[in-house]
Amino acid sequence: MELKRKYTVADINIKNKDYEVGKDFVSALYQIEIPTGIKIANFIEKNISDLPINTLVSYVYGGLVMDKHNRPVTFTIEVIQPDEYEPILSDLQLVPMDEYLDLMNLNLVLSPK
């Protein structure tokens, strides 16, 4: 018998109204362990405001949070900026540390504040 989750993605409150969250992003966040997903959502909320946006392409940015066992969890988010609209967080993926370090070398990581 499979246990149901006690909380849903709707319980993860991203308060910043300066961007929108896409369906794939929410779906990916739902697949992550709840405490880690909340840490990722909070990390993004605190650090997304300084991203340079280009209306012609989407960008992939890396991020790093520590899970409840104090192990690093690396992830990427895809950001799209349609003309004259709020940026859209279109996708989220957990990635290996090597990929995160590659993004760091390209200066494409969310810097903690």
Please report whether residue 7 resides in a domain: no
Residue-wise pLDDT tens digits, 3-22: 444 434 443 444 545 778 88
Q: How far is CA 78 from CA 9, 36, 69, 70, in A?
A: 18, 19, 27, 25
Contact 77, 25 (CB under 8 A): yes
Residue-wise pLDDT tens digits, 26-66: 999 999 999 999 999 999 988 887 677 677 788 899 999 99
Please report whether residue 12 resides in a domain: no
Q: Is the pTM of this model over 0.85?
A: no
Q: Give the list of residues 6+ apart from residue 31 with CB closer than 8 angstroms, or none.
A: none
Please report whether residue 100 resides in a domain: yes
pLDDT at 100: 97
The C-alpha atoms of residue 68 and residue 100 are separated, in whole angstroms, by: 20
pLDDT at 7: 38
Total number of domains in the chain: 1
Please report whether residue 101 resides in a domain: yes
Q: What is the CATH number of the domain that holds 79?
A: 3.30.2310
Contact 72, 53 (CB under 8 A): no
Please report whether residue 14 resides in a domain: no
Please report whether residue 1 resides in a domain: no
Q: How far apart are the first and last CA of the chain?
A: 43
Instruction: Provide the domain limits for residue 62.
Output: 19-105
pLDDT at 50: 67
Contact 76, 62 (CB under 8 A): yes
Mean pLDDT of the 97-111 span: 94
Please report whether residue 90 resides in a domain: yes
Mean pLDDT of the 82-87 span: 73
Q: Which ranges in the chain belong to alpha helices (H)?
A: 23-30, 34-47, 97-105
Top-confidence residue, 112 or 45: 45
pLDDT at 53: 64
